[in-house]
């Protein structure tokens, strides 16, 4: 996936990204990394996150890549550097997911309370039910435009 090489032995994509980073054009550099290596890094993350969270992790990777682009020192290839970012983002996602799961195991010892919590959380509130909402919308539509806006605020 390295592509054609340029005179100094580096793939052309690597050179273009490095030039963008050197010129401090981080948006262009990030775009080039995502266009050039995004698919393979996405596949890498999909293999690591078979639970369906790969898209979320890839988004976090892209954001992190853009944020840390100014820190690229050229001590490795851009591809290696990008994979390192992807691995760190993946690890962070797994760690925070485990923490979040542990935090929501509060009612593990109290199944009756867990059932109540789940029922209350999933029941549709009265004012959000379709029939009630329709009546509220009809009432709101009877108001003048300025009053409608105030009511929505």
Q: What region, left, alpha or beta, does residue 5 occupy, with left being phi > 0 and alpha being psi -120 to 50 degrees? A: beta
How many angstroms separate the CA atoms of 29 and 68, rounded?
11
Which whole-number Å values give the CA distances from 6 to 1, 3, 9, 17, in the listed order?
15, 10, 6, 13
pTM of the shown model = 0.62
Give the model's pLDDT for residue 6.
47
Position 10 confidence tier, pLDDT thresholds 50, 70, 90: low
What the block records as the tokens of 141 is 């539509």
Mean pLDDT (whole number) for 78-95: 96
Give the model's pLDDT for residue 148.
75
How many angstroms separate the CA atoms of 127 and 134, rounded?
10
**Is 96's pLDDT higher than 70?**
yes
């Amino acid at each position: 996936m390295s592509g054609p090489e340029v005179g100094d032995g580096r793939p052309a994509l690597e050179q273009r990204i490095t030039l963008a980073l050197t010129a401090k054009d981080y948006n262009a550099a990030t775009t080039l990394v995502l266009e050039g290596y995004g698919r393979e890094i996405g596949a890498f993350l999909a293999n690591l996150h078979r639970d369906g969270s790969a898209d979320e992790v890839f988004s976090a990777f892209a954001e992190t890549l853009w944020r840390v682009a100014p820190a690229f020192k050229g001590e490795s290839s851009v591809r290696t550097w990008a994979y390192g970012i992807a691995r760190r983002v993946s690890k962070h996602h797994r760690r925070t997911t485990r923490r979040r799961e542990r935090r929501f195991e509060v009612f593990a010892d109290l199944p009756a309370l867990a059932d109540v919590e789940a029922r209350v959380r999933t029941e549709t509130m009265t004012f959000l039910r379709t029939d009630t909402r329709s009546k509220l919308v009809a009432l709101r539509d009877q108001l003048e435009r300025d009053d409608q806006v105030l009511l929505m605020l």
